[in-house]
Structure formats: C-alpha cells, structure tokens
Structure 1
Amino acid sequence: MRYQRFVVVGDSCAEGLDDPHPDGGVYRGWADFTAGALAELNPGLRYANLAVRGRRLDQITEEQFPALDRLRPDLVALFGGGNDVLSGSWRADVVAARVDRAVRMLTDTAPTVVTFTLSDVSRLPVGSRLRKRIIALNEAIHDSAARHGALVVDLWPDEAARDLRYFGRDRLHLAEAGHRRLAAYLLHRLGVPYDESWLAPLASPPLTTGLRARAADVDWLFREVVPVAWSRLRNRMVGRSPGDGFLPKRPDLLPVRANA
C-alpha cells in the first residue's frame, strides 16, 4: 500500500531518543527511518511526529490524539507504555484500560494502525523488577490490537534487546542501531521493503564480563538511574510530568527526504 499521510504518536522512543540527527538539533529515530523508506515508494508521502518524551498513555491520548482529526492519517504508529511501567502509581488494570482506549481511538481514526510491545529488559541490573509490569502491558497491547484490528510489532522476543550496543548511554533509549532495527521490524510488518542491513548482527563485541562489567553497571546506576529517579520524585512532589515543557518535533505533515 502506498501510504500518503504517516503520523507517529507516543513517548521518547517514538520521538527518537537516543539517536541524535547528524545535522544536529532534533532526534531522529525509527519513525524517521520508516518515513524515509515509505517515501522511497511514494515521494508524495507526508509525515508528522507528535511524540513527546516522558508521556504516559493517558497523556498521549489527551495531548496528541486531537491533532489526528486535522492530519487525517492513513497510517498511525503508536509507541507508548514505557512511562506507565515506570510510574510509581502503576496498576495493571488502569494501564490496560489506557491501552484499549488508545488503540480503539486510533483504529476509529485511521485505516492502518500499528503499535509495539516493549522489549524484555530483564538484562538490566534493575530490569527484573519491571518484567511483570512489561508482560502485563504487552498482554494488554496484544488483546486490544486483536479486539480493534490494529497491527502489532512484537519486540519482546528480540534477542538484540540483550545487547547494550543497541542502546544509548542510559541503557533505556535506543541508539541508532536499535532505531534502525525497530524501523525494519515495522516496515516488515507493513509489507514494505527495507534495508536488510538494519537487522544484520553487530560485530562481535569485546569481552566485558566479571569485575569490568559490574563496574560498568555501578557507573550506569549512579550516572543514569539515580538522577532520573530523583528527578521523577521531584516532579511528583510539585505535580509535574517528565515531558512538561517539550513540544512535538514535527507537528505538521511535511514531505520527507528518502534515505533518512
């Protein structure tokens, strides 16, 4: 299918963290790579990205979905739920309801809707604590997609999630290689040709086990995890959310350069 209007909604992963654009300024990410591949098939494609970092599913629905009436997409991709998983107020039933509402609203708006499950992050030092939450979120995504006729890109089985070279310094957001891999999965799900090198295994990494690996884990914990946890706690105390003050990088449908 030759898509004409591609719109992305979601959180930081949909925005493109942690894949800085080579030209500077905004982040790039899987959505930009996907738009570039779609534009190779249809140079008239226009693409908008409404995603904002730090947003939960209920915030994505309330803040980003109203623009869909104006943009009239024929393809929408939703990547969200990670901030719900990290929330101190997590409740599986509440998040499942948020997922279902979001997917239902999108399928009422666009003929093709794609959403994503989250990867298995149990490889991380604190990831095992989140595993049950991610499983619950992923089950809700599969259930809602089946109920409302959306497509799912299932990232849970991907063994690449265990290779930190696909991730940025915070080990949470994807680096360029991870975003290209996710774009390949999405394009495959849509039946659209993609660069197969995006799924090629990375070269064998240097051996980092034992004390060196543990030291790296401790460095990451104090450099990335503790500041983020403290920031989230401060935000909760003053009634703020992590994405407050940030705007979508691409709020309008614009032409796309192929080969992003």
Structure 2
Amino acid sequence: MPQEPVFHRYVALGDSFSEGVGDPDPTRPNGLRGWADRVAEELARRDADFGYANLAVRGRLLGPIVDEQLDAAIAMEPDLVTIYAGGNDLMRPRVDLDALAARYDEAIGKLTATGATVLMWTAFDAGWSAVFGKLRGRSAIYNELVREVADRHGATLVDFWRFGEYQDLRMWDWDRLHMSTPGHQNMAIRVLGTLGAPHRIEMDSLGPDLPTDKASRRRADLAWTKDFLVPWVGRRVRGSSSGDGVSAKRPTLAPIS
C-alpha cells in the first residue's frame, strides 16, 4: 500500500478562494476559516512541528499573486504549496489567456523547482450561472492551458471543473461567487484525497433544497443583483478591489490550532 504523506511546512497562495471567503469564523485571522485551514489542521495531526502560512488575499489577480506571494512562499522552504490563481483575471472584460498562462507557467516552474509538492486548480464550471456562465468558454480554454502547465512541471492538479457537486447552489455563499462553509469543507476533503492524506472532516448538512419556483428564483436573483452584482460591477468601474486594505491572514509559518 502507498505510504501516507507527511508534510512539515505548508504555504497557501492565491485569492479569496484560498483565503477562505465564504467560511466565516470570527476567532480566526481575517474572520475566516476556509478549506486551506481545514487541510492544515488535518496535516498537523501527523507532525507535531507542522507549520502553516496562508498568504492569499481576496481580489488578487494572478500577476499580484506572483509578485507579492511567490518569493515569500519560497523563502519559507515549504514541502507543500497550494496555489489558486487566475479566477479574478477571467472575470475582467479583457484577458490575454496565453500571457496569463505564461506567467503562471513561470511561477509554477519556480515552485516545483524547490522540490515541494505543488497543487494547482482548474477554474470551476459556472455554466449554471446566468452571469458567470457567460465566461464558460473562456474558462474552458484557460483550464486546458493550466493542465498543460501542471503536466510540464509535474504539479498536481485539483480539477475543480469536474467536481459536479458544485452545481448545487448550496455549495456557494450568498454571493454565488465564493464557496459556502459546506463548499469549503468539501474542497478540503477533495484536496486531502488528492494528496492521499487521511482526515476526520465531516460535511455539514447542506440544509433544505432551495426553492425552484419562478417567483422565488426571481426574488433571489433580484436580491443578488442588488446586494452583490451592482457593487461588484461598481468596483470594476472604479478600479478598486475587495482586497484593498486586506493583509494575508497567516503571513508566517506557525502552528495551526
């Protein structure tokens, strides 16, 4: 049987996905838990000296993730790195997918050259969304480029695009952009399964089915447009970000409690 992996230093890089937005916990830095914290908690069971850092900041594009987080992560000499990047770029009006993939390729090459196990993600399939579903073709092309990068450098791919359970809206927070607490729990299970690492994570109930009648869906869509979509578009117009003024929640390696 394959030996279960033991990691000593884990660093998470990226944007809101890895910061943990959608999984609130007021006792933690930035008021968030998230799948990466959950993964760290399980990995720490196998090493008393386990250290975990999370440099991810919501709203970051791929370029700033590389510029601000990559060298800091490498300096910590991790043996496990997770990086989710590019999702915010895909939602911009214009994006050069080849240039984006080239920048990602360079970053992944630097990470894998350290000898660390490197996990990277495809973008999720938002075909169910009336708004984000319009980016489905763009995301599919990006995913093929990401798969090529992973193959070229021997990185491990977490294929979010193929996780059919995320077609259930209850796996998403109210904004329909970030995972809910069950979504983060499920992602932690997916990541640990990809690593071949045992875990004790149990999924919370997804709760009752969401209403499917036209009137209920229309009310939900109108509330979402008012509370999320309009402010989100406003930030795009102003050139601001939800991450302005936000710092990494775990900027240095430390035990995870």
**Structure 1 residues 230 and 185: CA distance shift in structure 2, 3 A:** same
CA-based RMSD: 1.8
Runs (4+) of structure 1 exceeding 3 A deviation are 195-198, 200-204
Query: Aligned partners of 1:58 and 1:226: how far apart in 2?
Result: 25
TM-score by length of 2: 0.92
Are residues 1:220 and 2:234 paired?
no
Check the 8 A contact 1:68/1:109 in 2, yes or no.
no
The SS at the match of 1:6 is: strand
Shift in Å, 1:164: 1.4
Q: Which of 165, 168, 182 is the aligned partner of 1:163? A: 168
Match 2:110 to one of 78, 101, 105: 105
2:13–2:82 Cα contact (<8 Å) kept: yes
SS of match in other structure, 2:160: coil
Distance in 2 between the 1:214 and 1:43 partners? 51
Is 1:177 the counterpart of 2:171? The answer is: no
2:247 aligns with: 247
> Are positions 1:80 and 2:85 aligned together?
yes
SS in 1 for 2:228: helix
Identity of aligned pairs, percent? 40
In structure 2, what is the Cα distance between the partners aligned to 1:65 and 1:10? 10
Equivalent-residue separation in structure 1 for 2:56 and 2:211 (angstroms) = 37
* Separation of aligned partners in 2, 1:118 and 1:170: 17
Unaligned runs of 5+ in 1: none
Whole-Å separation in 1 of the counterparts to 2:47 and 2:213: 47
Partners of 2:210 and 2:94 in 1: CA distance: 40
Please state how far the C-alpha of 1:218 moved relative to its aligned partner. 2.1
> Conserved in 1, the CA contact under 8 Å of 2:182 and 2:205?
no
Q: Equivalent residue for 1:141?
A: 146
Deviation per residue, 1:84-138 (Å, 9 max, x gap): 1012231221222122122112112342000111211111121221101211221
1:20 counterpart (8, 11, 24): 24
Separation (CA, whole Å) in 1 of partners of 2:115 and 2:139:
26
**TM-score, normalization by structure 1:** 0.91
Query: Over residues 220-258 of structure 1, what are the superposed CA-to-partner deviations in whole Å (9 max), with x where a residue is unaligned?
Result: 1222011111111101xxxx555332210000000112x
* Alignment counterpart, residue 38 of structure 1, candidates 40, 43, 52: 43
User: Counterparts of 1:207 and 1:55 in 2: how far apart (Å)?
Assistant: 34
Count of residue pairs the alignment pairs up: 252
- 5+ residue gaps in structure 2? none
